Amino acid sequence: MDATYSPPQDPLVILHEDAEVLLVDKPSGLLSVPGKGPELADCLITRVQAAFPDALLVHRLDRDTSGVMIFALTPHAQRHLGLQFEKRMTRKTYVARVWGQPAEKSGTVDLPLIVDWPNRPRQMVCHETGKPAQTDWKVIKNDGETARLRLFPKTGRSHQLRVHMLAIGHPILGDPFYATGAALKYPRLMLHSEELRFNHPQGGKSVKVRTKAPF
Do residues 122 and 158 lie in contact, with contact meaning Cβ atoms separated by under 8 Å?
no
Measure the CA–CA gap between 42 and 203, rounded to whole angstroms: 34
How many Å is the Cα radius of gyration of the chain? 17
Cα torsion at 169, 5, 14, 66 (round to 10°)?
0
Measure the CA–CA gap between 98 and 100, rounded to whole angstroms: 6
Catalytic residue check, 136: no
Which of 49, 61, 62 is CA-nearest to residue 22?
Answer: 49
Given the residues 18, 42, 54, 62, the one annotated as active site: 62
The DSSP 8-state label assigned to residue 131 in this structure reads B
Measure the CA–CA gap between 77 and 33, rounded to whole angstroms: 19
Measure the CA–CA gap between 27 and 63, rounded to whole angstroms: 9
Total residues belonging to the chain: 215
Q: Is the peptide bond before 121 cis (omega within 30 degrees of 0)?
A: yes
Catalytic residues: 62
